[in-house]
Amino acid sequence: MDSLVIVIEPTNPENRSVHSQVLAKLPNYFKQKGDYKNPSDVNAGPFQFASGYKGTYFDWLEETPDQQEAFNRMMALTRLERGEQWFEFFPTEERFGSMDPSAPLLVDVGGGLGHDLTAFHTKFPNLPGKLILQDLPVVINNVKLDAAIERIAHDFFQPQPVKGAKVYYLRTVLHDWADKQAIEILKNIRDAMSADSILLLNENFLPEKDVPQYNAEVDFSMLAIFSSLERTEKQWRALIEAAGLKVVKVWTPKLQLAASATLFEAVRAD
């Protein structure tokens, strides 16, 4: 699931300001750990330390409906800050215009409520091939979409059920996960890819120096809530290669806003 952690006050007072609680207890977390290193255990990081919850943040969302609803709505709002859509600076029609209409064209893995696929279909209503949205049942079961978009309940830690799609697409999914889990997600996709398939990762990345405030704040949120991080281009490339993939090209929008993403295009390494 894609994410920027912004918590809306829920109706249940016991669940309020979880993000703030985790941030406030970070000094105690690092003091207890003693090594002052970036956390990497998604099941035993700052979120679990501060909240006392034993699972991941996404597990907690599933058990907390008001927070899950707020999370889903906020994900829609964050798209307003991103500027150009990926398919506006990627040669979409040139690359995808000759597809078999019966074959899977674009699989949006962890695509939430389907905003990206809806925007893609609106821009290119006549592109041949199937459009498929995947996410957990708690997210996807009540999503209302254009009939052209197929919904599949899927956990991306399980084998990818759609084989040989032209494009497997993830938008700000992997920044929610430490390297171990991110590589597992990528390997499940890689195993489903054909020689003609491509992977498109739509992610923010940190410059090596002079990091903008927005990106630094997101990086801190990823550390606190997910035991993860915002990655530099070098770190993204290393992660992709560790999953048996290779980067073909890095695409960037003409106008780079604070929340603009970069598109990593990758294929199977073998």
CA nearest neighbour of 232 among 206, 251, 210, 265: 206
Q: What is the per-residue pLDDT for 212?
A: 86
Pick the CATH number of 83-208+229-268 from 3.40.50.150, 3.40.50.1370, 3.30.420.140, 3.30.450.20: 3.40.50.150
175 is catalytic: yes
Other CB atoms within 10 A of residue 214 CB = 14
Q: What is the per-residue pLDDT for 86?
A: 94
- Token readout for 85 is 């859509």
Say how far apart CA 103 and CA 84 lie, in whole Å: 27
| Full strand arrangement of the beta sheet holding 198-203 | 149-153, 130-135, 104-109, 167-171, 198-203, 262-268, 245-251
pLDDT confidence bin for 67, thresholds 50/70/90: confident
The β-bridge partners of 134 are: 109, 152
CA nearest neighbour of 130 among 157, 167, 155: 167
Q: Is the pLDDT of residue 134 over 90?
A: yes
115, 121, 154, 175: the active-site residue: 175
Residues 194-250 have pLDDT tens digits of 999 999 999 988 888 888 888 888 898 999 999 999 999 999 999 999 999 999 999
Domain extents for the chain?
A: 83-208+229-268
Residues 19-63 have pLDDT tens digits of 888 999 999 999 999 888 899 999 999 999 999 999 999 899 888
